[in-house]
Structures are given as C-alpha cells and as structure tokens.
Amino acid sequence: MTVNPTSNNFKENAKKALADDNLQAALNNLKGGLISKRKEAIKRLPEFDAISTRAKNIKDEVFLDLDFYLEKFEKKTIEYGGVVHWAEDANDAKNIILELLKSINAKIMTKGKTLISEEIGLNEFLEENGIEPVETDLGEYIVQIAGEKPSHIIAPALHKTKENVADLFHEIHSPLGYKERQNSASALVAEARSVLRKRYLEADAGLTGANFLVAETGSTAIVTNEGNGDLTQSLPKMHIVLATIDKVVPTLEDVSTILRVLNPSATGQDMATYVTFSTGPKRRDDNAGPDQFHVVILDNGRSDLIGTDKQDVLRCIRCGACMNHCPVYGAVGGHAYGWVYPGPIGAALNPALIGIEKSHHLPNASTFCGRCEEVCPMQIPLPKIMRHWRNEEWKKKIPKYSVRLVLKLWLFLVLNPVLYRIVSSIFVRILSFFSPQKGYFSNLPFASGWTSVRDFPAPEGKSFLSQWEEEHDDNK
C-alpha cells in the first residue's frame, strides 16, 4: 500500500480481502481475543461507565478552549527546556522534522508507534531525504520490513499469522546472522528484540507519538506494552514528539481518568505495562536522556471540525475497540479501508482528513448495528457522524446518478404511504410469481450487487404490511 488513500477502491479491496484465506485466518485468530479481554476488564471495573462519561467531558471541555490549553502546554514545555513547533498540515510537519534531523546530521531515527507519522507519510519522506526510519514497536516493525502498512491502530500486524511472521523474519534476519527459522511467538519476539537493540544504539534521534499532551506540566505521555517507546526517546540525543492538537488535556489527573478507560478498551488490561511521561530534555544532573526535546503539534484539518456536527470524533483515544467489534472490519480487515484509520473510526475521521470525495465508500461500509458506539469509551456517536458524511456525499452528488435516482424514487414513495403500499404489494406479487422453488433468487438483474455475493430470499406472497394487518384483524 502507498501513503495515498485507496479508500475509494473499498469495494474491490473488500472483495480481495474476503477471498484472502490467510487474512481471514489472521482475523479469526486474533479478533476474538481482544473482544473477550475487553469484556473481562470492564467486568472488573464496575464504575467504567461513570469514568467513561468523565473522560468524554474532559475532552469536550478542552475543545471549548482548545487554544488556551495548547498555549499553556507550549508555555510549560518551554519552561522545562523543550521546543514546540506548530504544523498546519502534513508538509509542514514533515519539513519541521527533517530540519530538526538535519540540524544534528541524523542518519538513523528510531520510532515508537505513531499513527500521525503514517497519516503524514513520514517514513517515505525521510527515506527520500536520506534518513532511515526504524520502527521499534513489534507490529510496526513487522509491517515495515514486510513493506506494508498497519491494518489496525493498536495491532498493526493483525493481518498476519504467526507463520507469516516466522517466514518474514527468516527471510529478513537471515543475512543478519539469524539463520534458524523460529516457530514460537516468544522466540520471534526475542529475535526482533535482539535485532532492534542494536538499532536503538545506532539512532541519532528518536520519534514517538503522544497519547496525551499535558497542559499543566508541558509533558507528553505515551502508553506502551513493549518499552520500545522508552528506549526510542531516552537513548538518542534528540527526542521528537509528533502529536495532533486534539491530544491536549488540562491536567495529569485527567490523564489518569482517561487511562482507566483506554487500557481496558484497547488490550483488556487494567493498565498498560508502561505509561511514560516526558518533560523537557535531560537536566544537568541526569545521567541519561535526550539533549533536545521537540514537540511537533499538527492540525491537518482537525481545527475545522471544532464546533461542527463532527467534532465528537476528535475525542478518539485510538483504543481500537470500535474496529474490534465492527462486523465489517472483522470481515475485511484494515487494509480494505485504504488509509491510516480503518474501521468505524476511519469511516468517521478519514473523510475529514482526506475529503469525502476520496473516502465516500467508508461511511457507507457500515451496517449501523451500533456496536462501535456501544463500546467506544469516549462515547463517540460514530454512526451519527457517518450519517453526516453520507449527507455530505449526497449533497455533493458523489453517488452515481442511477443510485441517486433510485433513492429519490424511494424517498418519494415513503413520503406517500398509500402509493408505497400499492407499489410494494405489486412488486412483491411479481417477485412471488417468479419465485424459484428453492425459495430464493440466485440472480436478480436490478439487485445484482446483492445477488452476486449472496442469495436473495423470495417473498412469500404478500408484503409485510398486508400480513401484519391480516394477523391484526384475526386477533380482534
């Protein structure tokens, strides 16, 4: 996959994903685990709903005064010796990071997991400019050496089975002296750790994302389970944090509130293994730590959402619960969505970041079953936001003329109930007349989108309304 969105190929991407046995096996193996772990963790936290409401309110309050909190964060960061850089869009952010790296003549930069760097296409940009980015999160490392993109926001290599990873490591690590093909998960992890340890020591700079920007202290915080973020940010001489404007929270207390819903929702843990705060570069008496601490704060279209009917999407803390519970994501995986954020959050966020024209299939790739909203710890009304995007799609006349015509006809009929009943009863009778003995149609010319992938049940003679009325009369 390239950094350019392929979201408008969603239908083709999804068809390929459904026919990919390896992907289906990977999705089956792993998804169930995340769902049941979340369920168990929430059982252990009876006050989950109350904390979730508090977490939602914290973010909503921040958005009322976003500039105030961002400026407060900047002031505090400077007080502790750090530098804040403001980036309006992806190009700004990439150029700022490149200039910082050039200023120390950096050749290798280790990276903790950051979706924002995927969003701006940072790796490709750095490579073009002679700097080697090295992913250190295990999942990110796997997809990087495979030449792929992450397919899940907390489990980037979710689309791969253990056997796939074993083959990949064998191929890539053999020239480095790791000749034996490892089969167990623990041996594969140990091998990756051994390879990556050397890279940490070679790196001139380390880049991490931030789960939080804490306004009261000027600290950035990351939440990890592998400790890779800590090595990335503390060993090289420069630490760069790349985060977006929506990550700011007022206080450390707010961080702890949101963490209590983030960890159970993401991995089913009560608390992640590492929650690391960075406040400025190393002090004079510190034995270790970076000499320079830079925070690049990116907008990239997010401030346009403030005050709109899509603002709620900015509350997202990237826990991944919505995609774990989404039947569409569960069937096709993350790559089908064609851009950085897959699943329901992608369907709600990507149109804001890359435009509805390039992503209009995504808000339609939903059954509106509502599970995403139900499990979202930040109470984001994802289906409602997808509906807003569908409206935009309609207003911009993006759907094909034939689709719009059918929908207009449908609208006309539902607004005229008598006519609707007459037309639907004629339609049902015609279908009944042609109904095959097997009880379903395998091919219907006007509904080929449906019948090309599944059978269409044949009506049983009368419309639902007529049957209901008959039953109602019998009960009198």
> DSSP label at 410?
H
- Closest contact distance (angstroms) between CB of 310 and ligand SF4 is 12
For ligand SF4, the closer CB: 379 or 463: 379
DSSP, collapsed to helix, strand or coil, labels residue 306 as coil
CB of 341 to ligand SF4, least distance (A): 8
1-7, Cβ contacts within 8 angstroms, sequence gap of 24 or more = 1/148, 1/149, 1/335, 1/338, 3/118, 3/121, 3/124, 5/338, 5/339, 5/350, 5/354, 5/358, 5/359, 6/338, 6/339, 7/337, 7/338, 7/339, 7/350, 7/354, 7/358, 7/359, 7/361, 7/362
Compare residues 259 and 316 and give the one whose CB is closer to ligand SF4: 316
Nearer of residues 133 and 344 to ligand SF4, judged by Cβ? 344
When the beta carbons of 218 and 343 are compared against ligand SF4, the nearer one is 343
Give me the torsion for CA of 104, 107, 112, 113, rounded to 10°.
120
In the complex with ligand SF4, the residue whose CB is nearer, 298 or 345, is 345
Looking at the Cβ atoms of 126 and 375, the one nearer to ligand SF4 is 375
Name the residue nearer to ligand SF4 (CB basis): 59 or 173: 59
List, edge to edge, every strand of the sheet that includes 205-208: 83-87, 292-298, 238-244, 205-208, 108-111, 132-135
Q: Which residues bind ligand SF4 (CB under 6 A)?
A: 265, 316-322, 345, 375-378, 380
Q: What DSSP letter does each residue of 322-348 carry, written as one string?
A: HHHT-HHHHHH-SGGG-SSS-HHHHHH
**Minimal distance, residue 6 CB to ligand SF4, in Å:** 21
Distance CA 323, CA 387 (A): 18
The residue (of 98 and 385) whose beta carbon lies closer to ligand SF4 is: 385
> Shortest distance, CB of residue 4 to ligand SF4, whole angstroms?
23
Backbone angles phi, psi at 318, to 5 degrees: 55, 50
Residue closer to ligand SF4 by CB (options 295, 385) is 385
Query: Which residue, 136 or 324, has its beta carbon nearer to ligand SF4?
Result: 324
Among 37, 25, 32, 36, CA closest to 160? 25
Give the residues across from 208 on adjacent strands: 241
> Toward ligand SF4, which CB reaches closer, 292 or 324?
324
Minimum Å gap between C-beta 88 and ligand SF4 is 24
Least Å distance, CB 70 to ligand SF4, is 21
CB of 114 to ligand SF4, least distance (A): 15
Give me 233's structure tokens. Answer: 């940010």
**Least Cβ distance, residue 436 to ligand SF4 (angstroms):** 43
Q: Are 238 and 203 in contact (CB under 8 A)?
A: no
Minimum CB separation of residue 167 from ligand SF4 in Å reads: 30
Kindly give, in sequence order, each residue whose CB lies less than 8 Å from that of residue 80, ignoring residues fewer than 6 positions away.
217, 218, 279, 280, 293
Distance of alpha carbon 295 from alpha carbon 78, whole angstroms? 10
Nearest of 99, 102, 72 to residue 87 by alpha carbon: 99
Cα dist from 394 to 8, 360, 370, 389, whole Å: 16, 10, 22, 9
Nearest distance from residue 317's CB to ligand SF4, in Å? 5
Of residues 283, 436, 354, the one with CA closest to residue 90? 354
Sign of the Cα torsion 149, 214, 263, 309 reads negative
DSSP 368: -
CB of 313 to ligand SF4, least distance (A): 7
Distance CA 26, CA 33 (A): 12
